[in-house]
Structure 1
Amino acid sequence: MKLVSCIMPTSAARQQFIPLAIDYFLRQDYPDAELIIIDDSPQSQEYLIPASPKLAYVHLEPRSWSVGIKRNYACSRAKGSIILHWDDDDWYAPDWISRQVQVLEQTGAGICGLDRLHFFNPSLQQSWQYIYDYDSRPWVAGATMAYLREVWERRPFPDMQVGEDNEFVWNAGVAVVAHDHTDGFISLLHGRNTSPKHTSHRQWKPMPVTVVQQILGADLERYAFCHQEPQ
Structure 2
Amino acid sequence: MIMACQPLPNVWRGDSHRECTMIRAPMSITCLTITQPTRLAMLRRAVADFCRQEYSQRELLIVHDAGSEFDTVLDDLIADFPGQPIRTHAAPAGTSLGELRNLSVELAGSEFLCQWDDDDRYHPLRLSMQLQALQTEAADFCFLSDQLHWFAARGEMYWTDWNIEPYPLNFVQGTLLGRRDCLPRYPDLLRGEDTGLCLDILRAGRRIARMREFAWLYVYVFHGGNAWSAAHHQAITAHKSLHGAHLLARKRVLETRLREYAPPLGHIVMPSRTGDLIFD
> Does residue 205 of the first structure (1) align with residue 241 of the second (2)?
yes
In the TM superposition, what whole-angstrom CA distance separates every residue of 1:84-138 from its partner, at most 9, and x where no partner exists? 0111111111111101111111101211111221101121121222223342223
> Does residue 113 of the first structure (1) align with residue 143 of the second (2)?
yes
Q: Which residue of 1 aligns with 2:89?
A: 58
Q: Which residue of 1 aligns with 2:98?
A: 68
What secondary structure, in the 3-state scheme, does the structure 2 residue paired with 1:49 have? helix
2:182 paired residue among 131, 146, 151: 151
Report the Cα distance in structure 1 between the residues aligned to 2:87 and 2:108, rounded to whole angstroms. 10
Equivalent residue letter for 2:209 = V
In structure 1, list runs of 5 or more residues that go unmatched.
224-231
Distance 1:102 1:178, change over 3 A: same
Q: Return 35-44 or 25-34, whichever deviates more.
A: 35-44
| Deviation at residue 59 of structure 1 after TM alignment | 2.6
Equivalent residue letter for 2:53 = Q
What secondary structure, in the 3-state scheme, does the structure 2 residue paired with 1:123 have? helix
| Deviation at residue 176 of structure 1 after TM alignment | 1.9
Q: Which residue of 1 aligns with 2:167?
A: 136
Q: Return 212-221 or 78-87, whichever deviates more.
A: 212-221
Q: Which residue of 2 aligns with 1:85?
A: 115
Normalising by structure 1, report the TM-score: 0.85
| Deviation at residue 146 of structure 1 after TM alignment | 0.4
1:193 paired residue among 226, 231, 250: 226
Please say which structure displays the higher CA radius of gyration.
2
In structure 2, list runs of 5 or more residues that go unmatched.
1-25, 269-280
Report the Cα distance in structure 1 between the residues aligned to 2:88 and 2:49, rounded to whole angstroms. 16
What secondary structure, in the 3-state scheme, does the structure 1 residue paired with 2:234 have? coil
Q: Which residue of 1 aligns with 2:16?
A: none
Report the Cα distance in structure 2 between the residues aligned to 1:100 and 1:195, rounded to whole angstroms. 26
> Does residue 177 of the first structure (1) align with residue 212 of the second (2)?
no
For these two proteins, the number of residue pairs brought into alignment is: 220
> Does residue 12 of the first structure (1) align with residue 37 of the second (2)?
yes
Q: Which residue of 2 aligns with 1:163?
A: 192
Distance 1:164 1:200, change over 3 A: closer
Report the Cα distance in structure 1 between the residues aligned to 2:224 and 2:52, rounded to whole angstroms. 27
Report the Cα distance in structure 2 between the residues aligned to 1:222 and 1:131, rounded to whole angstroms. 22
Q: Return 137-146 or 112-121, whichever deviates more.
A: 137-146
Report the Cα distance in structure 2 between the residues aligned to 1:119 and 1:113, rounded to whole angstroms. 16
- The answer to whether the Cα contact below 8 Å between 1:169 and 1:176 also exists between their aligned partners in 2 is no
> Does residue 216 of the first structure (1) align with residue 258 of the second (2)?
yes
Normalising by structure 2, report the TM-score: 0.71
